[in-house]
Structure 1
Amino acid sequence: MAISVLVPLLTLLSLHMAHAGDPDILTDFQLPLGAANITGDSFTYTGLRALIGANPQNFTVFKATMAELPALNGLSVSYAALYYPPGSVNPLHTHPRGSELLFLVLGSLEVGFVNTTNYLFNQTLQAGDMFVFPKGLMHYQYNADANSPAIALSAFGSAAAGTVSIPTAVFNTGIDDPILAASFNTDDDTIDKLKAGLSH
């Protein structure tokens, strides 16, 4: 008797856990809070214009997420334009709420992600190539070209995929040095040097 109740319950639980992306909405779109007059402007975002003609000195992300474009709420999609000056890196990071599909528009990039068995999947991309980073897995992009920038566009399977920067999360959140030293099998001086490097 217990099995006859447990199996359907576990089946329902597994179906709930398998749901991907943002929760479904029951209307065409969700109105932003306090919105009185919805027009085409409500669905338009011009913030990525900043990339046109830009020449940032450091790796720069131009985002179009639910925070910048509230009309994305409930639509399970967001976007980013990424600019990589020569020799720059988008440091190790994760997106806990969405997968990323990167399209390289200009230049070349070395990209990769590490799965839950600690296996590295990496590739060198050329303009016109795409690469997918599964949701929640640690990944990076690196422009190894010392002379030319790279530009990529990324689509996310969430209106708010989130970003957790691994270096920042590990070294700039107040975790005690002895814990970090023990975790990395090193000493406090090495941890201090790593922290100092991130403060520049």
Structure 2
Amino acid sequence: MAFNSLKHAFFFLLIVLSTSHIANAGDPDIISDFILPEGVISVDGSFFTYTPFAKSLNAYEPDTFQVIKATMAQFPALNGQSVSYAILLFPIGTVNPPHTHPRSAELLFLLRGTLEVGFVDTTNKLYTQTLQAGDMFVFPKGLVHYQYSSDAKESSVAVSAFGSASAGTVSVPLAVFNTSIDNGILAKSFKTDIATIQKIKAGLAP
């Protein structure tokens, strides 16, 4: 009886530890209020302030789709805080190609225009929605997703929040066609010929 109770307690402890690990599978927790860059011993309020977004919100109209990021790389005060932002600028008819964020979900808030958005789950089911200004949409962590500015008269601007100071971005077209994966393997994978693969690669070249 005692052995069974001990076995059950041990099993319960394993479950708690495993679920705790899953729950904390994002950015690691820190044991201080914030993390200073190496060699820095004192900061003031400016360290916690990020201003580059101001330009994009003041009638800045790019010619192509652009992302302005506030991640740990651009804003060191985010180190250890498990948050980051990005502003997405969509001229009319532009697309943010299919991509993933391996370390975070994405919560998108549309400020202006119209966006067609979608993501694909692990069963290859596609979920789509047409967003209007003021709408929000969540892209689950690690899943392939995209956004398309479908308004024929107005460009679109969105803000995305992430639950990681460095969510990471893996562009599906670039990861597949702009790396050194053999053309023969790609041709077999996409059930086409090498010439077609080469044309796709040429179209994606910088």
Fold similarity call, TM over 0.5: yes
> Which residue identity does 1:150 align to in structure 2?
S
Number of equivalences: 200
Letter in 1 for 2:169: T
Post-superposition shift, 1:18?
A: 3.1
Q: Which residue of 1 aligns with 2:95?
A: 89
Alignment of 1:114-193 (within 5 A): 114-193=120-199
**Equivalent residue in structure 1 for 2:26, among 13, 16, 21:** 21
Q: Which structure 2 residue ranges, 5 or more long, are not aligned?
A: none
Matched residue of 1:123: which SS? strand
Aligned sequence identity (%)? 60
Deviations 1:49-108 (A, max 9, x none): 231221110000011000011110111100011100000000000000111100000000
> How far apart in 2 are the matches of 1:25 and 1:125?
36
Provide the residue aligned with 2:52 in structure 1.
47
Per-residue deviation, residues 4-46 of structure 1 (Å, max 9, x unmatched): 3566435423421332431111222112222132100110111
The structure with the largest alpha-carbon Rg is 2
Identify the residue that residue 59 of structure 1 maps to in structure 2.
Answer: 65
| Alignment TM-score, normalising by the size of structure 2 | 0.91
Divergent runs of 4+, >4 A: none
Separation in 2 of the partners of 1:150 and 1:16?
39
1:77 matched residue in structure 2 = 83
1:199 CA displacement: 1.6
**Equivalent-residue separation in structure 1 for 2:12 and 2:161 (angstroms):** 37
CA–CA distance in 2 between the matches of 1:36 and 1:19?
Answer: 29
Find the partner of 1:68 among 51, 63, 74: 74
Question: What root-mean-square deviation, in Å, do the aligned CA atoms of Structure 1 and Structure 2 show?
Answer: 1.8
Moved more, 42-51 or 66-75: 42-51
Structure 1 residue runs of 5 or longer lacking an equivalent are none
Which amino acid counterpart does residue 50 of structure 2 have in structure 1? Answer: Y
Deviates further, 140-149 or 167-176: 140-149
- Distance in 2, matches of 1:45 and 1:35, equals 18
Structure 2 distance, partners of 1:29, 1:143, is 38
TM-score (norm 1): 0.93
Deviation readout 1:112-158 (Å, 9 max, x if unpaired): 11111111111000000000011101000001223320000010000
